[in-house]
Amino acid sequence: MDLYSALQYVLFLAIVTALVRPLGGYLERVFSRTPTVLDRLCLPIERLIYRITAVDPNVEMTGTQYATCFVFFGLVGTLLLYAILRLQAFLPWFFPEYHTTQLSPDLASNVAISFSTTTTWQAYGGENTMSYFSQMVGLCAQNFLAGAAGLAVGVAFIRGLARQCSGTLGNFWVDLTRALLWVLLPGALIGAILLVWQGVPMNFRPYAVATSVEHSQQVIAQGPVAALEIIKNLGTNGGGFFNANGAHPYENPTPLTNFLEMLAIVLLPAALTNTLGRMIGQPRQGWLLYWVMIFLFSMGLIFVRHFEQRGNPQFGGVDLQSSSSQSGGNMEGKEVRFGIGGSALTAVVTSNTATGSTNSMHDSFTSLGGLVLLVNLLLGELVFGGLGTGLYSMVMAAAIAVFLAGLMVGRTPEYLGKKIGPAENKMIMLYALAAPFFVLSFTAVAVSSKAGLSGLTTNTGPHGLTEILFAYSSCFANNGQSFAGLSANTVFYNLTTALVMMAGRFGLAIPALAFAGMFARQKNTPSSLGTLPTDSLSFGILLTISLITVTALSYLPALALGPVLERSVFGT
C-alpha cells in the first residue's frame, strides 16, 4: 500500500475514533433532554413546533405506537414528495429545455419511496430530471426528515435496552424534532459552509451554456448543490444532485471534500455506539460494538484497495504497478483526483453505510473488489450503517451471537442483563431472515423473467447476476448505490426495488422496536458466574465469526454464481 493511502486511512480512522466519545455524549444529552450548548437557540423553536403541532413532549409511546408513528411519517413524506415530483413542471425553477427525462408515475413513486426510506436509489439523471424546487423542497427536505426519523428510531431502541420495567420507548415526535434541531441542521450548516469554501456551488441560477474551443455548445448544470450534498451524507442518504453523484466535480471537487464527506457519513452512526454505552450505563458494551465495526471496516478497506491496485492480471504486457508517473492498478471508472486510495475509501464507507454517495463506478471494479462491496451490503448495514439503523442492526446481530452461545452451553441467553426468551427470539429471527428472503427472492424473479433480464443491456452471465443481486441488496440495505450496467428505469425495476426498499426500512425497524419494547419491560438480572460477558474480546470474536457465518450461509450460493464465478472464469 502506498504511503498516501495508508496515511489517509489511518487519519480517517483516528479522527472517527477521537470523535466517537464527545459526539456520543452530545447525542446522549440531546435525547435525554439534558442541557447542551445549543439549547438557547433550539429550545424556543422546539416549543413553538410543539405548540403548532399540538404535541405533548411529556407523553411517551409504547413500541407499537412508536413504530406506527414512524411508518405513518414515512407514508406522509412519500405522498408529499410524489406530489411534488408529478407537479414539478408547474412549480418554480423548472427548465423544460434541460429537464428532459419524464417523471412517469412508476419512476416518481420509486423516487418518492427511495428518498423517504433514505435509500435514494436513483434510476434517473439528476440534472436532466429534477428541478431546483424538486431538489430542495422535495429531495433535500426528505433527506433531513427521513434521516431524523431513522435517528429517532435508533435512540428509541437504545432506550428500550436501557430501561427497566417500563412500557414506553419515548416520544417519536420529540425525538424527530430534536434530531432535526440539535443534530442534522447544525451539522448540515457547518458542512455546507466547508463545501462552498472548497468550490461546491450553492445558487439558483439557470443552467449555463458554454462554447468549447471546437465551437460546440456544452450545458453546465449548477444549482443549490452544497445544501443537498452535505445532508445526503450526514443523514446517510446518498442521492446525488448530478447523475455522476460524488464523482461530479461540483459535488466533490477535491480530495479534501471527499475526505470530509466520508467523515460526515460515518461520524454520527459511529458515535451512537458510545451513546448506547452511556445510556445503558455500560460504556464497554458500546466500545466493543465499535471495535467490531472498525475491524470489519478495516478488513474491507484493505481488501478493496489491494484488489483494485493489483488490477486485472489478464492484461498482458501492461504495467499495473503504481509509481510517481502513474496510479497503476485498475483505474477504470475512477477519478484521477481521488485515485485508487480515495476511491477505495469511499467505496467501503458507502457500501458499509446506508449512503450510496459513490465517487467511482463500482461496475468497473474488479470482480473481487466488487465482491467485497456486495458483502458489505449483505452483512446487514451494521458496520456504522445508517443513522440509528446501523446501531440496532449491530445489536440484533449481537443478540444472535448471544443466542448461539446460549445453545452451546445450555443456558437461557442474556444480553445486557436481560433474558432473551421465545418472544425476543421471534423478533430476532424475523430480523435476520428478512434480508435473505427479500433480496434472494426478488433476485430470483428478476433473473428468471424477461422483464428482469431486459435490464441487462451491457453485461450478462456472472456479472449480470451480480448487477441484479447488488441492486436488490442495495435497496434492502437502504443504500442506493448500484452496478450501473443495470438499466433500472423500467416499470418492473421501479416497482420491485420500491417494495424491497420499504421492506428494508420498515420490515427491520418494526421488529427492532418490538424487541426493544420487550427489553424495556424486563428487570435487569444480576450477573453470575454463568453469565456470558458481552463486553469481552472473546465475545467480540464470537460476534464477528457469527456475522460472517450467517452471511455466508445465506448468500454463498448467489455469490458463487456471481463475482466468484466471474473471477474464476474470466480472471477479472
Q: Is the pLDDT assigned to residue 287 strictly greater than 70?
A: yes
Q: What is the pLDDT of residue 317?
A: 65
pLDDT in tens, 308-321: 988 777 766 666 67
H or E stretch covering 424: helix 422-447
Contact between 469 and 510 under an 8 Å Cβ cutoff? The reply is no
Compute the distance between CA of residue 289 and CA of residue 274 in angstroms, rounded to an integer.
9
**What is the pLDDT, as a whole number, of residue 470?**
94
User: Phi first, then psi: what are they for 486, rounded to 5°?
Assistant: -90, 120
Q: What is the CA radius of gyration of the chain?
A: 23
325: confidence class by pLDDT, cuts 50, 70, 90: low
435 — pLDDT class (breaks 50, 70, 90) = very high
Give 368-410 pLDDT, tens digit per residue: 999 999 999 999 888 998 888 889 999 999 999 988 887 776 6
C-alpha cell, 271: 458515535
d(CA 340, CA 306): 10
CB-CB contact of 136 with 228 (8 Å): yes
Do 474 and 354 form a contact (C-beta atoms < 8 A)?
no
* 244 pLDDT higher than 80: yes
The pLDDT tens digits of the residues spanning 337-356 come to 898 999 999 999 999 998 88
Judged by phi (left if over 0) then psi (alpha if -120 to 50, else beta), residue 54 lies in left
Phi then psi for 547, rounded to 5 degrees? -60, -50
Cell of 475: 435497496
Beta-carbon contacts of residue 371 (< 8 Å; ≥ 6 apart): 559, 562, 563, 564, 567
Residue 151 has pLDDT above 90, yes or no: yes
Q: Which residue has the higher pLDDT, 3 or 137?
A: 137
pLDDT tens digits, residue range 39-78? 999 999 999 999 999 999 999 999 999 999 999 999 999 9
Grid cell for residue 301: 478497506
242 in the Ramachandran plot: left (φ > 0), alpha (ψ -120 to 50) or beta? beta
The predicted pLDDT at position 465 comes to 92
Mean pLDDT computed over every residue of the chain: 90
> DSSP for 349-375?
HHHHTT----SB-GGGS-HHHHHHHHH
Pairwise CA distance, residues 299 & 310, whole Å: 16
Cβ proximity of 379 and 362 under 8 Å? no
Among 275, 266, 435, which Cα is nearest to 355's? 266
CB 184, CB 144: distance < 8 Å: yes
pLDDT digits (tens, 9 = 90+) for 451-465: 999 999 888 889 999
Higher pLDDT, 485 or 31: 31
Share of the chain above pLDDT 70, in %: 96
pLDDT band at 421 (very low <50, low <70, confident <90, very high): confident
Label residue 525 by pLDDT band (50, 70, 90). confident
Q: Give residue 70's pLDDT.
A: 96
**What is the predicted pLDDT for the residue at 324?**
66
User: Over pLDDT 90: what percentage of the chain?
Assistant: 65
